[in-house]
Amino acid sequence: MLHLLSLKALRERLQKREVSSVELTKHFIDRIAKFSDLNAFISVDEEGALASAEDADKSLNKNQSGNLTGIPIAHKDIFCTKRLRTTCGSKMLAGFTAPYDATVVQRLANAGCVTIGKTNMDEFAMGSSNETSFFGNVKNPWQTSRVPGGSSGGSAASVAARLIPAATGTDTGGSIRQPAAFCGLTGLKPSYGRVSRYGMIAFASSLDQGGPLTRSAEDSAIMFNAMGGFDPKDSTSIERPIPSVNELLDLDLRGLRLGLPTEFFDSSVDTAVLGSVREALQILEKRGAQLVDVSLPNSAAGIPCYYVIAPAEASSNLSRFDGVRFGHRSEQADSLLDLYECSRAEGFGEEVKRRILIGTYVLSAGYYDAYYLKAQKIRRVISDDFTKAFEKCDVIVGPTTPSTAFKIGEKTQDPVSMYLNDIFTNTVNLAGLPSLSMPVGLDGSGLPIGMQLIGRFMDETSLIGTAHQFQLETDWHERCPEDFA
């Protein structure tokens, strides 16, 4: 039963001392072991978790506790941790333990969270299905023949299966929102600069952003409030405070203008997905929101633009893995150049190599202007589309993904069809805007459907608030996959 409780309900139980943090931590550790077939975790830190649970219990006994004191969480294995290895889902970092904690890890620990472990993910966060992980694929708890989405697939699967009450993720082109949609969760990608990237292994630095994967908008507000905010260690961090949990949740929908981009409601989207999104919009309309038509005319350029910029930045970021300073080092090499080449050939998987090749190509002399520079210009045009749309509305809405969770193996042979999963999400990263996916229904075979809300820069409040108002009236966010209740 404990695993079905929200963060707020857990806090109440803990503060009334009806349950101890140690009991709670053991409960979730047992569940992680029981459902290890999902392959949602890469590392579990039983000893460390129990030690911090004991500390949390001491604070709770002294009535010195906050929103999250004593509550177990898990981190995507892209966030550096001192106690546990940080693999980023790669053989390259399979043996790497960071000398410091990421800011997100530290902030959540300061808020009293108990870190139980690190979740599985696509290698270096490159993927949409969690099939590129060196540690094997993750299964979707709703149907274990399906993918949980990616790249934060381990975090999403574990929150959906109630193996952990909340987890962190990162989103470069959709990796919080798409797995949230596939697993029936609420996933928030904050505005670029809201959540510190310090200690978050870089994929594409101008797009990467950390955020929470939770069951409800309320839980999302609690997590976002604790993990976000200015960090002098991240030069792109924004010097503005995160609203309080109540400020994030209290929203009057009356008069809120929801913009429906024509480009998001086209025939390429599954009818079940469109149907549930439209039903959700009706509910919001009944509560006073106003629906208006908008257009994001350059949406179709999003995928090509993203697949120039993200690999370009990745090829540069990943050049640090050379087998010398840290990470995998080949035993085969007999010269320095050989060492670089063999270490990288052995340490990186196929998708990561594909991105490095694309990225190096688009940045090379002679192609830079034709590809990289052009993509930067298109990025601006895409961003301008959003600015124009926000003259007519306050929040943009649409499906998070064109379909529900697909079968394991279904798209692995066709990278482009895999990339197209992010068609509605990655333009948001290119523009640096906040965005949230929330569950709005199930399709004919019982798989979750997600709806995406996109906000103005820094306006997470309208997204979390809208989702919260919706969730006060519906119970999609409380649905649990059958075998995990």
407 is catalytic: no
Residue 260 · residue 292 · CB < 8 Å: yes
Contacts to ligand GLN from residues 5-64, by CB under 6 A: none
User: Tokens at residue 28, please?
Assistant: 């979730």
AA identity, residue 365 = A
Would you count residue 317 as binding ligand GLN (CB under 6 A)?
no
Which are the contacts of 468, defined by CB distance < 8 A and separation ≥ 6? 216, 217, 218, 221, 249, 251
Distance CA 260, CA 169 (A): 27
Whether omega for the bond prior to residue 151 falls within 30 degrees of 0, making it cis, is yes
Q: How many residues bind ligand GLN (CB under 6 A)?
A: 13
The least CB distance from residue 425 to ligand GLN, in Å, is 8
x/- letters, 107..126, toward ligand GLN (CB under 6 A): ------------------xx
Among 133-141, 167-175, 253-261, 290-298, which window interacts with ligand GLN (CB under 6 A)? 167-175
CA atoms within 13 Å, Cβ hemisphere of 244: 5
The least CB distance from residue 465 to ligand GLN, in Å, is 24
CB atoms within 10 A of CB 383: 17
Annotated catalytic residue, options 158, 175, 191, 299: 175
**Residue with smaller CB distance to ligand GLN, 174 or 455:** 174
76 is catalytic: yes
User: From the list 106, 175, 437, 462, which residue makes contact with ligand GLN (rule: CB under 6 A)?
Assistant: 175
Would you count residue 172 as binding ligand GLN (CB under 6 A)?
yes
Distance CA 389, CA 252 (A): 21
Which are the contacts of 191, defined by CB distance < 8 A and separation ≥ 6? 209, 238, 432, 433, 434, 455, 457, 458, 459, 460
The least CB distance from residue 108 to ligand GLN, in Å, is 20
196 is catalytic: no
Would you count residue 423 as binding ligand GLN (CB under 6 A)?
no
x/- letters, 266..305, toward ligand GLN (CB under 6 A): ----------------------------------------
Residue 322 · residue 316 · CB < 8 Å: no
User: From the list 310, 318, 339, 433, which residue makes contact with ligand GLN (rule: CB under 6 A)?
Assistant: 310
Q: Please state, in angstroms and as integers, the Cα–Cα distance from residue 133 to each residue in 9, 122, 447, following that order.
A: 34, 5, 23
x/- letters, 203..232, toward ligand GLN (CB under 6 A): x-----------------------------
Residue, CB closest to ligand GLN: 175
Residues assigned a catalytic role: 76, 151, 175
